[in-house]
Amino acid sequence: MCNGFIDPQSPLGFSCEALVNANIELLKIFREKQAPIFFTTTIYRDEQEASVFRKKLPDLNILSPDSHWVGFREDLSPTDSETIIEKKHASGFFMTGLAEHLNRLGIDTVYISGVTTSGCVRATALDSLQHNFLTFIVQDCVGDRDNEAHQSNLRDLQLKYAELVSLAELN
- How far is it, in rounded angstroms, from Cα 13 to Cα 161? 26
Length of the chain: 171
Distance between CA atoms of residues 124 and 114, nearest Å: 11
pLDDT the model gives residue 35: 97
How far are the Cα atoms of 17, 44, 91, 141, 147 from residue 8, in angstroms, in the given order? 10, 21, 22, 17, 15
**SS3 state of residue 14:** coil
- pLDDT at residue number 32: 98
Query: Is residue 16 within 8 Å of residue 4, measured between CB atoms?
Result: no
How many structural domains is the chain composed of? 1
> Taking Cα atoms as reference points, which of 131, 134, 140 lies closest to residue 168?
140
- CATH number of the domain residue 109 falls in: 3.40.50.850
pLDDT of residue 171: 87
Count of CA atoms in the C-beta half-sphere (13 A) of 107: 18
Range of the domain at 54: 3-170
Identify the segments of the chain with pLDDT beneath 50.
none
SS (H, E, C) 38-104: EEEEECCCCCCCCHHHHHHCHHHHHCCCCCHHHCCCHHHCCCCCCEEEEECCCCCCCCCCHHHHHHH
pLDDT confidence of residue 157: 98
102 C-beta neighbours (distance < 10 Å), count? 19
